[in-house]
Amino acid sequence: MRRATLDDVAARAGVSAKTVSNVLLGRPNVSSATRERVQTAVAEVGYAVNPAGRGLVSGRTGRVAVVVPNLYQPYFAELAERLILALSDRGLTSTLRIAHGRAAERDAALGVTTRDVDGVIVCPHHFTGEMLLAGGVSRPVVQLGGAPTPVLDCVVMGEHIGFEAVTRHLLATGRRRIALVWNGPEGVHPQGARYAGYLAAHEAFGVHPDEALVAFGSDWDRRASGYEAMVGLQRTGATFDAVACMNDALAIGVLRALRSGGVRVPDDVAVTGFDDTDEGEFTTPSLSSVSPEQGEMVDAAVRMLVDRLGGYDGAGREVRTGAHLVIRDSSAPAS
């Protein structure tokens, strides 16, 4: 039986073979009606894409590297899954890469470790524009999260508005001594958008945050760091009635430490996280958190990458996404 060809699909859909190719490659600038007609024709004639042949003709693999720092942090695991599914909806396959450290993130963006893909979506911990100055980016790269990098398309998370919202929530429920569980070496002053949101909320309520209530974890991706930071803070004898954590992983460790010390949550101390990972819904008590709108972030990142793969060659773009507060049992109003 003869194998259906691209020309067969084009004839059935009433379009050119080039248009069929554009649809199959997920390129933009094809109307939804035409795209639907081509996809219907593909099903009717039984056309199957030959990945090897397509790569030889187009010089492309149809494959995108999804780069994350790790998978033991639920946020990155969930984000990677969303990206892989969204890319699949565009007809693209994914290869998952772990870039643990500054050099690994740089090498993924520059193509040193991603030569076998057409494009890269990197979800960084350490990424900065300066890291790219030594070498040019040779393929489409989209940065999802972190501080914006001017030379790349970037999706910037709503970190400031999210952390300001969760801190305002704690203050509005009557808490006034809010401990902050952060990431980094002891004594290094917090900085960045989340910390700016924390300060803005205090200023709005006329409350001066106590710097003695900042506790540091060695690795913001591990629950054990939150546990250790909270145990260390408790040993200082400092009093506090709430804990705002940099993310859910730290918050889950904090919940464990407070429970081990006989502290009732939220009766004695309220606890909040950031990321709204699935895990937080099933802690005891369930964890109030900030949703960074992962779906919106993923849609923007995939859309910009597909634009680049389709030939867009403009300056780096920046998409800023929102965030919203998810209130659960861990931050009920103080009695």
Task: Specify the residue for token string 């859910």.
Answer: 248
pLDDT at site 144: 96
Q: Which position has the higher pLDDT, 10 or 194?
A: 194
Q: Residues of 34-59 as b/e, b for ≥16 C-beta within 10 angstroms?
A: beebbbebbeebebeeeeeebeeeee
Contact between residue 272 and residue 304 where contact means Cβ atoms under 8 Å apart: no
Structure tokens at 135: 């070498």
Task: Specify the residue for token string 């980016």.
Answer: 137
Structure tokens at 301: 């990142």
Q: What is the pLDDT of residues 150-163, one digit of tens each?
A: 889 999 999 999 99
Helix residue spans in the chain (DSSP H)? 6-13, 17-24, 32-45, 51-58, 74-89, 102-110, 159-172, 193-204, 223-235, 248-260, 294-309
Q: Which position has the higher pLDDT, 181 or 126?
A: 181
pLDDT at site 56: 37
Contact between residue 278 and residue 74 where contact means Cβ atoms under 8 Å apart: yes
pTM of this prediction? Answer: 0.79
pLDDT at site 233: 96
Diameter of the chain by CA atoms?
80
Q: What is the pLDDT of residues 231-285, one digit of tens each?
A: 999 999 999 999 999 999 999 999 999 999 999 999 999 999 999 999 999 999 9
In this structure, of 57-61, 268-272, 289-293, 304-308, the range with the lowest mean pLDDT score is: 57-61
Average pLDDT, the chain: 89
Q: What is the pLDDT of residues 28-75, one digit of tens each?
A: 678 888 888 988 988 888 887 654 444 434 456 789 999 999 999 999
Per-residue pLDDT at 135 exceeds 70: no
Structure tokens at 22: 């554009």
**131 to 68, 118, 125, 157: CA distances (angstroms):** 17, 21, 13, 21
Which domains are delineated in the chain?
6-58 (1.10.260.40), 63-157+293-321 (3.40.50.2300), 159-291 (3.40.50.2300)
pLDDT at site 57: 44
Residue type, 264: R
pLDDT at site 55: 46
